[in-house]
Chain A
Amino acid sequence: MAREFQRGHKAKISDLTAGTDLYVGVQITGPGLSFDISCFGLDADEQLSDDRFFVFFNQPKTPEESIQLLGAQAGDTESFRVTLDRIPPQIQKLSFTATIDGAGQMSQVAPGYLRIVAGGEEVARYSFNGGEFSTERAVMLGDFYLKDVWRFAAVGQGFDGGLDALLKNFGGEVAEEEPAAPAPGAAAPSFAPPAQGAAPPAFGAPAGPAVPAPASAPQPAAQGFAPPQGATPPPAPAPSVHAAPTIIAPMTPPGGAPVPPPAPAPAPYAQPGQQQPPYGQAPGQTAPLPPGYGQPQAPQAPVPPPGYGQPTPPPGYGQQPPFGQVPGQPGAPGMPGAPAAYGVPQGAPQGGAGVTAALQAYKETPTGQRWTQQNKKMVRVDLGMGGDQAVLARQGSMVLYQGKVDFSYKGAGFSGRIVGNATGQEMQLMRCSGRGQVFLAENGAMLHPIELQGDAVCVSAENVLAFDETLQYEVRRVEGHGIPGGALFTMQFQGTGTVVVKTRGVPVVLPVTPTTFADCNAVVAWSAASQVIVSSQVRMRRNAYPGDTGESVNLQFRGAPGNFIVVQPYEV
């Protein structure tokens, strides 16, 4: 599920996804506007010290191909592929920007977004609209930045000038408008087109029918050196777009093009001609090896991640057949142990090899508090902390414990039993006491620790997973006609401590307003200060027929602002 970002929000990318091979899509449109979306690779001083790390329509990738421009696809006006672990160390920040090409201002843009997709799943989305901007002509949408680890920040900051001003801001140079760059005929390296042409379908989204027109124009331009004037949208009055190409002109002269891999690389392109099986192995390997799906250079790989400046194209991207082996390196045939061909994948989502590395993403989160949520579905309680208090938990909810913990039956007492049996709000509890950590979970339900500080909350008994023994609890009764069983019973918790509430699915927390209603079967909890009224839509005649809506008994909540109710997407 995509995490929604607001302007200014930041997060570690490792919290969003374990992968490092990311797809970044930007959708930005506006009536009559066209946009240039680019990515600046900045150094520690936030300067564009190396022009090769300015990725835009005319320079679709960085030399080591850690950042690549993919063009429009899947609803995105422009998209990038970013391979975080291949970004060279001097690049500390990637800034994704959009600039208006031609006349216009940012306040005219339609609602758009910047999103991050990893492994086919959208993990983050920052949405913006024109109302956040005014007369700016450029906007810095979001940053990937390196602070110990790679993080993402939703920036959404407008910028007054156009692309050229933005470039100057980052310390780049804007060469004056020049007659277009070298003749495309001689310049266009023969490898480049296939690389580009094949790229979009392989990554993230089928480009074919989905590609909207606007950005596909700049993309072809990226292969030649001079953007055909007609292809780029309305001719800019300022030197905005057309000035840009000249910046990278020195970088991509015909001879020294860093983009296509030089001599050893022809293998991949020759591949179609050779008689390879459709999902063929890496070309250029010698026979005795079992066909490795992986990279031939993998055996050497365990040490460094395939580095900067290595001419190898990224795996699976563009140049290859769909099943994506990496073209053979000349050095490969010498490799010794056959199985080693599986080595470390270049773009693998997991950080390294071995069990520990693969499971790194699931490590238990460090201690520090009495109740720690491990992930959405598991909590850990540290019994030693906060005075040796016991915890009451639903029977059978323990999945793991460390230390000396004693589990004992917790009865409700004689009177409690009678109440419990009569009301259906009986809980089978166990008492966990001692010293140690207990991990609690139940049937993959989502868990929500609610910390009470003197206030009170009502929870339907079947949604209670565990609570501190220090809390007082009692059964409360909601009366009303039409409720199955005659009345609705809930548990009210009061005092100082934590209650862990479980829900099936992601719940919704609604503020209590004069018109807040909930199904009595789906409501999980509410703040005890709100008053509950049963409202039944009694239409006898209609209820008598089959095809009844079944939504006849609702609970209405009333209370002062600040009260809330929690409803789960699952009716018990």
Chain B
Amino acid sequence: MNQQLAGFAPAPVAARMENHGNHMLKVAMQTGNDLLARVGSMVAYEGFVQYEPNPPAVRQIAKDWMTGEGAPLMKCSGDGLLYLSDYGANVVVINLNGDAISVNATNLLAFDAHLTWGVERVKGLAKFAGQGLWNTKISGQGWVALTSRGKPIVVDCGGGEDETYVDPDALVAWSPNLKVKGKRSFKAQSLIGRGSGEAFQMAFSGQGIVVVQPSEDSTDRLRVRG
């Protein structure tokens, strides 16, 4: 019996964060090197890891995340191996190494606590933001893990004149130096029930990348559970 399952045992740790398969994140935890993770994302851990939901510092920074219901982040500290996942979403691990990235709030799984981060409202979209487009900008030396419903695609904006338009529901992350603005694409027709289904997009321009997922299901599963 063991033989069939044995192939799924964890590989030896080679880095702070690694993928285990496509859908699970493995974090090597260590004292003094805390991790901020989405509440409810822990699926397993080995060793001595403690969880502090909504620590004061986070509450302060993210006090207005998602209509002020409190930050859906927990601080994990201790020694051991921590496994995180988000309802079968693909996990993408990034070693920032000084870069910065803006992540859609629902697509953020975990990141090193010592990174510089802040929650901000997506600029220029406030007037559309019925569903609340909040993004987290993270930068510094450390690791970030994102989730994506399905394998993501990275598109280079190219820096040309052409803007890249993204369906906000499919957006995962982008380079913070890109210019963002909202674009309404509906015309008078759409008011009488003849829209193209693409009511508004986010337009990115400049040098950088945009990450999109092959799904427009942006419901926050971790959040629904409470």
Contact = CB atoms under 8 A, between A and B. Distances in A.
A65 interface: no
A218 to B, nearest CB: 20
Interface string B24-35: 000011111100
5 cross-chain pairs, A with B, having the tightest CB-CB distances, nearest first: A395-B197, A316-B12, A353-B97, A345-B15, A441-B214
Given A409-B190, A409-B194, 14 more contacts: A204-B6, A279-B28, A279-B30, A315-B14, A317-B12, A349-B14, A354-B99, A377-B215, A396-B216, A399-B212, A431-B196, A441-B213, A441-B214, A443-B217
B10 interface: yes
Contacts of A356: 99, 209
Interface string B84-102: 0000000011111111110
A205 interface: yes
Contact of A346 (B14, B141, B143): B14
Given A441-B214, A444-B217, A119 B21 contact: yes
26 contacts: A120-B7, A206-B9, A278-B79, A293-B29, A293-B30, A316-B12, A322-B46, A323-B80, A324-B13, A324-B28, A342-B95, A342-B112, A342-B141, A346-B14, A352-B95, A353-B96, A356-B209, A358-B92, A376-B150, A378-B151, A395-B196, A399-B213, A401-B164, A407-B185, A436-B162, A444-B217
B211 interface: yes
Interface string A300-337: 00000000000000011100101111000000000000
Nearest to B210: A400
B170 A441 contact: yes
A349 B19 contact: yes
B80 A279 contact: yes
Contacts of A404: 162
B125 interface: no
Nearest to B215: A444
Interface of B: 2-4, 6-16, 18-22, 28-33, 46-47, 79-81, 92-101, 112, 114, 140-143, 149-158, 162-167, 170, 175, 185, 189-190, 194-198, 201, 209-217
Contacts of A173: none
Contacts of B216: 396-397, 399, 441-443
Contact of B7 (A204, A398, A400): A204
Interface string A376-405: 111000000000000000111111111111
Contact of A120 (B10, B15, B31, B98): B10
A215 to B, nearest CB: 14
Contact of A315 (B12, B142, B150): B12
B217 A281 contact: no
Interface in A405-456: 405, 407-409, 411, 428, 430-431, 436, 439, 441-444
A362 B30 contact: no
A258 B35 CA distance: 39
Best-surrounded residue of B21, B112, B157 (most CB of chain A within 10 A): B21
Given A75-B6, A342-B95, A293 B33 contact: yes
A105 interface: no
B11 A203 contact: yes
Contact of B154 (A342, A359, A399, A430): A359
A279 B213 contact: no
B162 A403 contact: yes
A399 B94 CA distance: 23
Given A75-B4, A210-B3, A443-B216, A121 B170 contact: no
B94 A348 contact: no
A345 B14 CA distance: 6
Contacts of A439: 153, 155, 212
B66 to A, nearest CB: 23
Contacts of A290: 32-33
A23 B8 CA distance: 12
B30 A120 contact: no
